[in-house]
Amino acid sequence: MKKIVLSLIIGASLISCNEEPEKSTEMKSDNPLLVKEFSTPYEVPPFDLLQSVHFEEAMIIGMEEQKRKIQIIIDNEDEPTWDNTLLAMETSGETYARASRIFYNLNSSHTNDEIQEIARKMSAKSAAHSDFIYMNMDLFNRVAKIWETNKEDTNLSPQQHKVLEKTYKRFVRSGAKLNKEDQEELASINAQIAELTTQFGQNILSDTNAFELLIEDETRLEGIPNSLLESAFKKAKEKDEEGKWLFTIQNSNVMPILEYAEDRELRREIYEAYKRRGNNNNEFNNTEIALKLANLRLEKANLLGYDTYADYALETTMAKDRSTVEEFLLKLWKPALIVAEREIEDIAILLAEDGIKDQVQPWDYKYYLEKIKKDKFDINNQEVAEYFSLDQVREGIFTVTDQLFGLQFKELEDVPVYHEDVTVWEVSEKDGTHVGVLYMDMHPRSSKRSGAWMTSFRPQTMKDGERYAPVISINCNFTDATSTKPSLLTFDEVTTFFHEFGHALHGLLSNVEYESLAGTNVSRDFVELPSQVMENWATDPEVLKMYAFHYDTGEVIPDELINKLEELGTFGQGFATTEYLASSLLDMKYHTIEEPLDANVVEFEVETLANLGMPSSITARHSSTHFAHVFAGGYSAGYYSYIWSGVLDTDAFDQFKQTELFNQEKARSFRENILETGGTEEPMELYKRFRGSEPSIEPLLKKRGLDIDSYDDDLKG
């Protein structure tokens, strides 16, 4: 592939956030973001031409352009209609939306000091711009008039009515009905939240990059995979630390050390550094930011008439209210704890056999589970990974999506990319019809946030009656290839790849009329269904035979190993489910406060988990100070969504397993009712149309090994 690396240089013409934008906001040909259409293949972003200066300029000009168009809508003296109000709004912010999408995606995947500074400066401006639109009473009155006329008996198409409904509710939820004084207060709160969430995420990245663990004594490295040791040795050499090993607290370093390092002190050191991200009493501290965000969200909810932020956030989800979410999480919490306690007992025996009198600590859990797994199943993650090279897993995903949906993938060689690691693919139907473009960014670097995610550089929409294809991206942090081995994925990373690809399919296969309804523009507790259902194909024995080949010998994964992986499906689920549910319940605790929280967030977290009966041997998957999902992302009062969607995905996959794995009728129904429809209808209605009924929780309990007899029958629900 032609590698074109994005140049990110602040120039002299950068518009200061304190300066008024130029009065003339006509398109400027010297800014690649301000042309009507990109001249690149498939109109992908022209990364080879972009500089940091272009982003702030384009976003500010785009805001001013949208304001002018909004004012034209307001000034229209004709009776408000779909065309002159809602459709005009839908298409009013194209320049701003396009520039900000590209910018914020780069801020996550390939940032630098200049980009982060722009992000900080633009956060309040972006919040204020949204408030300008959705607190505008004149504009709201036009929308409200259409809503009152059409909310029950309407001549609008179903999708037009959905846009109307979402737009009306967004106005109300954004404070359009508040008096002027309360609107000003809400605008101030929104600006603070925007700035703090930006800072929270940047602090995590900076604190992660600030930590380095240099090891000189090779005997401390016993058990750690050779691929990680080779990478750590290379990193140390690059820092002029010849003959040493340099580790970071990227996931690709932390997890192998926790699973394999025989040196308990080394495991403790890396674990505690990982858990302390955002809580190191330095300039990247997130303790006060998390507290402020929880309290500001409460203030916002109260202003809008809600008792708690969770009441506000959950109103537009499948769950609808906090009691439903809390009951659902606690229904799973008890059986998860029972299984976790059994796991802890098994680990304690091994700890004693190793002469360690201490109780089981969080940095012991993964290490001893791995030993139990090896002893019980004669299998370990390093051996499994040898059957899952990154390229081979990608081909497996392509095979699955071909057999389910007939999709074809062709790598594009002459397309601009923002980093040399990125690959780009054209996605098409079997008959050659263009579906969309997919970027894949698979490896960690200091300019990239941790975790895995899907995003879009351009959502699907309609233009002139024709489908305007999306440009989608998936981002992961899988270990790089070494000089002796390709990038080899753990089994967890394999499922992560399939997971993010499921999100990508949701974006790629979208086929709706309006951008605001496209792809993943659905409720948080529905958006994880397409991603999580794909994980089921990743681990199915029939599918494993299609793509799991030994990286060196080419041998297909043996039946014996497949059987062991199947048996392993419920292994360690006490730990995995408990640490996840702990974070979900912690998220709900922050967002169900009814009075401002006056506490140290670390102590608040400890107290919350203790009250739940959390074992001291396990900690929440995400500690408060690096809980990016809820304090820097869109999952506040919504982290439960993953396991909520887990009920849907296991129930959905069960439909395939009861017939055939690549049942074409069911695949077509899933595509038509879930993947193509975006947010055009209520999620449960879409799911029932695919499934024929509401989902059952039983397949999820069975999949996680939590369908045990020792918890109350009334928990089965």
Count the neighbouring beta carbons within 10 Å of the beta carbon of residue 655: 16
Q: Which stretch of DSSP H or E encloses residue 466?
A: strand 466-468
- Residues 292 and 194: their CA atoms lie apart, in Å, by 12
- Residues 677 and 643: their CA atoms lie apart, in Å, by 22
Q: Which stretch of DSSP H or E encloses residue 456?
A: strand 453-458
- Residues 85 and 72: their CA atoms lie apart, in Å, by 10
Q: Residues 57, 500, 528, 579: which is the catalytic one?
A: 500
- Residues 144 and 384: their CA atoms lie apart, in Å, by 58
Amino acid (one-letter) located at 316 = T
- Closest by CA to 548, choosing from 381, 377, 395, is 395
Q: Tokens 């947010």 map to which residue?
A: 679
**CB-hemisphere CA count at 13 Å for 531?**
26
Q: Which stretch of DSSP H or E encloses residue 335?
A: helix 322-353
Mark out the alpha helices in 406-490 (DSSP H runs). Answer: none
User: CB–CB of 697/647 below 8 Å?
Assistant: yes
**CB-hemisphere CA count at 13 Å for 88?**
22
456 - beta bridge partners?
472
Torsion-angle region of 451 (φ positive above 0: left; ψ -120 to 50: alpha; else: beta): left
- Residues 543 and 494: their CA atoms lie apart, in Å, by 12
Q: Is 475 helix (H, G, I), strand (E, B) or coil?
A: strand
User: CB–CB of 519/456 below 8 Å?
Assistant: yes
- Closest by CA to 36, choosing from 70, 71, 62, 10, is 62
- Residues 532 and 649: their CA atoms lie apart, in Å, by 6
Write out the E strands in 123-275: 213-215, 245-247
Residue 500 annotated as catalytic: yes
**CB-hemisphere CA count at 13 Å for 193?**
23
Q: CA Rg, the chain, in Å?
A: 26
- Closest by CA to 5, choosing from 50, 37, 41, is 50
So which residues are the catalytic ones?
500
